[in-house]
Chain A
Amino acid sequence: MPPAAPIAPLLGPALGLSAVLFTLGVAGVLLRRNAIVLFMCIELMLNAVNLAFIALAQLQGVGGQIMVFFVMTVAAAEAAVGLAIILAIFRHNQSVDLQNVNLLHG
């Protein structure tokens, strides 16, 4: 066994950081009403997931980095569709505030 330097010393802090960012993203989704900001918070959550993948990839191998590829593709696809939907709603409401979208209809 090679007396190498400790593997992945930053695993815990990196996972912790990803947890903090994910929680902040969830907080944003729950607290804000502006659809675009909401969507940004969802992107923040996806970034937190990417960080978790990369942190764990230090131990589990390169598969995690490939997962991040797929997450990025998904994020790009969602951004295209999501922003188109936001444009469509803006044409109807002249606003992207979810208060004008009766979210809690019952």
Chain B
Amino acid sequence: MNALDTTTPIGATLALLPELLLTGWSLVVLLVVAWRHEGERDSRFAGWLSFAGILLSLAAVLGMWHGDWHSEGIAHMVALDSFRYASATLILLLAGASTLLSLRYLGRQRLLAPEYYPLILFATIGMLVMAAATDLILIFLGLEVMSVAVYVLSGFDRYRRSSAEAALKYFLIGAFASSFLLYGIALIWGATGQTNLSLIAAQLAGGAPTMASLGLGLLLIGFGFKVSAVPFHMWAPDVYDGAPTPVTGFMATGVKAAAFVALVRVLDQGFIAQAHQWQPVIGVLAVATILVGNITALAQESLKRMLAYSSVAHAGYLLVAAWPGTAFGSGAVLFYLAAYCVTTLASFGILAAIEHVGSRTVLIDDLEGLFSKRPWGATSLAVCLLSLLGFPGTFGFVGKWYIISSVLREGSWILPVAVAVGSLISIGYYLPVITAMTFKPERTIDAHRQVAFSRAGKAIVAMAVLLILLFGVWPTALLNSAVRSARTLAPQAVVTEVP
């Protein structure tokens, strides 16, 4: 019963259950907002409705995971493995949290266009498809669904120029990157005749033709843009800065998680025999990303841009984790993604609450004295920053430690050193924020009067902080689950017919 044949219509439908549920639900939400879209009340209603849809889809994912649904033979188009379920769970949790963080923000900043929540749902569907796809063409289409929705979301605040500019930049760079990705897919298909990752692996087991290597290179360029790895990162800070803050949170976490999950699946399932070809590329990208991201973050005055560069640097750590191509490495990607996403989303949630109406850059100086007025908010932000820094006892520390150990196991020492150096540099920009919040007096009497957390926002941030501290001291269960999920990534055995 639990084995599905994804080539049959019934099997494909069941295998795509979470995505189909979410698609149906997004259509319902679209209809509801077409009917009721007058004020803040209706916008909140749409938000809660979308949240319910995300929970429904999450229930389907967890049910499939718990019931151990797996595919009969090679997974055609859609994977049915723990890696997919784990990443889909993460993505849905991020989408749900972003939805709740948006509730108050949209009303406060007068962003009441009714299509916001349907677009979040569409982007989530794209991410889920990316996390599930075992076929290059499906990965590409999932990526496009996600990107098209996120392009629009980043330009959602149309009365502000920087938001429109963010959308334009993101769109042009995103479409440019997609063409590279697609050219890579074309060449890989030309050299193997397959787009299914397991079948590609079977074809390339004895070595890759030049055309396939060329295709893999172009594919990596495309992914490099999507995960904002360093020569291809220049869009990230501007786009993260210009987009509405909850959208930035969603982009910095969900989009990155989906792109990394797809990248790891492509490398580990389709091109594991070519590891000697892609490992140097990933390694160089990782070191460059860590160094450039961390060093540029030092110079930032705006908190949002600082977090944007820090997210570039974290893409570097994740690339390090993707480097070994083993179950431990991919497990480290999942684990660190969880750590990074929970922390970053909470930071952007706090940032969204601190932002003043209208002017939307929060400088690091603006935070001075926040602790005396808003002790809980300031403490939460401090915990998040410490976790991003990799302070012992937090989720981020365990993640980094685990990345380093999984890479050392493969005998590389340059990458662990880069991770350590990057973390040391990052002290230089995380700590000043914390000292500004706690030790300095506030600049004007009512500097922090406008800070407004919604109840849902408070709950999300509190939960994130609890998770950071919980997994910081008791990571074993999550670690084991991540490694077990990553084990399911190994290429499936394919019986090749010799002509």
**Touching chains A and B, CB distance < 8 Å:** yes
Q: Measuring CB to CB, which residues of chain A are less than 8 angstroms from any residue of chain B?
A: 22, 25, 29, 35, 38-39, 42, 45-46, 48-49, 52-53, 55-56, 59-61, 63-64, 67, 70-71, 74, 77-78, 81-82, 84-86, 88-89, 91-93, 101-106
A59 to B238, CA, bound (A): 44
Report if A103-B169 is in contact (Cβ < 8 Å); known contacts: A52-B187, A63-B195, A67-B189: yes
B115 interface contact, C-beta 8 A: no
In the bound complex, CA of A81 to CA of B179 (Å) = 16
Question: How close is A1's CB to chain B, nearest CB, in angstroms?
Answer: 12
Cβ of A14 to closest chain B Cβ, rounded Å: 11
A-contact 0/1 string along B108-125, CB 8 Å cutoff: 000000000000000000
Asked if residues B183 and A49 are in contact (CB atoms below 8 Å), the reply is: yes
A-B contact pairs, 17 of them (CB 8 A): A29-B176, A35-B172, A53-B186, A56-B189, A56-B190, A63-B193, A67-B195, A70-B140, A74-B144, A78-B144, A78-B175, A81-B148, A86-B168, A88-B168, A92-B165, A104-B234, A105-B241
Using A56-B186, A88-B164, A89-B164 as known contacts, list a sample of 6 further A-B pairs with CB atoms less than 8 Å apart, ordered by residue number in A: A49-B186, A60-B193, A67-B195, A89-B167, A91-B164, A106-B296
Q: How many residues of B contact A (CB 8 A)?
A: 36
Q: With A29-B176, A39-B172, A81-B151 as given contacts, are A63 and B189 in contact (CB-CB < 8 Å)? A: yes
Residues from chain A with Cβ under 8 Å of B171 in the complex? 78, 81-82, 85
Please give, as numbers and ranges, the residues of chain B lying within 8 Å of A63 by CB-CB distance.
Answer: 189, 193, 195
| Chain A residues closer than 8 Å to B237, beta-carbon distance | 105-106
Q: Does B288 contact A (CB under 8 A)?
A: no
Distance in angstroms between the alpha carbons of A53 and B178 in the assembled complex: 15
Q: Within 8 Å of chain A (Cβ to Cβ): is B155?
A: yes
Contact flags B172-184 to A (C-beta < 8 A → 1, else 0): 1001101100110
Specify the chain A residue showing the minimal Cβ separation from B183. A49
Q: A42 with B179: in contact, given A56-B186, A61-B193, A89-B164 (CB under 8 Å)? A: yes
Tell me which residues across on chain B come within 8 A of A105, comparing CB atoms: 237-238, 241
Roughly how many angstroms separate A30 CA and B241 CA in the complex, as a whole number? 23
Chain A CB within 10 A, most for which of B169, B175, B195, B241: B175
Q: B137 touching A85 by the CB < 8 A rule? A: no
Residues from chain A with Cβ under 8 Å of B148 in the complex = 77-78, 81
Q: For B144, list chain A residues within 8 Å (CB).
A: 74, 77-78
Q: Could you tell me the distance in whole angstroms from the C-beta of A8 to the nearest C-beta in chain B?
A: 11
Question: Which residues on B sit within 8 Å (CB–CB) of A48?
Answer: 183
Contact of B190 among A22, A60, A103 (CB under 8 A): A60
B34 at the A interface (CB under 8 A):
no
How close is A77's CB to chain B, nearest CB, in angstroms? 6
Would you call B189 and A53 a contact (CB within 8 A)? yes
A39 CB contacts on chain B under 8 angstroms: 172, 175
CA A29 – CA B165 in complex, angstroms? 17
Shortest B251–chain A CB gap in Å is 16
* Contact A92 B164, beta carbon cutoff 8 Å: yes
Task: Report the Cα distance A67→B182, complex, angstroms.
Answer: 10
Which residues on the A side are within 8 Å of B241 (C-beta)? Answer: 105
- In contact, A67 and B137 (Cβ under 8 angstroms): yes
B141 located at the interface, meaning its Cβ lies under 8 Å from any Cβ of chain A in the complex: yes
Give 3 closest A-B pairs by Cβ, nearest first. A56-B190, A45-B179, A60-B193
| B147: nearest chain-A partner, CB-CB | A78
Interface residue? B158 (CB, 8 A): yes
- A46 with B164, Cβ < 8 A, contacts A35-B172, A52-B187, A67-B137 known: no
Give the docked Cα–Cα distance between A56 and B141 (Å): 21
* B175, A52: Cβ atoms closer than 8 Å: no
Check B189–A70 contact: CB distance below 8 A: no
Chain A nearest CB from B204 CB (Å) reads: 15
Given contacts A60-B189, A85-B167, contact A92 B161 (CB under 8 A): yes
Contact across chains for B152 and A81 when beta carbons are under 8 A apart: yes
Within 8 A of A (CB), among B12-46: none
* Chain B proximity of A90: nearest CB distance (Å): 9
The one of A22, A74, A82, A106 in contact with B141, judged by C-beta atoms closer than 8 angstroms, is: A74
Determine the distance from Cα of A77 to Cα of B168 in the docked complex, in whole angstroms: 15
When C-beta atoms are compared, the residue in chain B nearest to A92 turns out to be: B161
CB distance from B287 to the nearest CB of A (A): 22
B152 close to A42 (CB less than 8 A)? no
B175 near A82 with CB under 8 A, answer yes
A97 to chain B, nearest CB (A): 11
Alpha-carbon distance between A74 and B174 when the two chains are bound, in angstroms: 13
CA distance A17 to B368 in the complex (A): 59
Residues in chain A near residue B172, CB distance under 8 A: 29, 35, 38-39, 42, 82
Q: With both chains docked as a complex, state the minimum distance between the C-beta of A104 and any C-beta of chain B, in angstroms.
A: 8
A74 vs B182: C-alpha distance in the bound complex, in angstroms?
11
Given A29-B176, A52-B190, the answer on whether A85 and B141 have CB atoms closer than 8 Å is no
Cα of A70 to Cα of B136 in the assembled complex, Å = 12
* Contact partners of B175 in chain A: CB under 8 A: 39, 42, 78, 82
* Interchain CB contact under 8 A, A46 and B182: yes
Contacts of A84 in B (CB 8 A): 152
Known contacts A42-B179, A49-B179, A67-B137; is A85 also within 8 Å of B161 by CB? no
- In whole Å, how far is A82's beta carbon from the nearest beta carbon of chain B? 5
Interface residues of B in 413-457 (CB under 8 A from A): none
B475 → chain A closest CB, angstroms: 37
Q: Could you say which residues of chain A place their CB within 8 Å of the CB of B186? A: 49, 52-53, 56, 64, 67
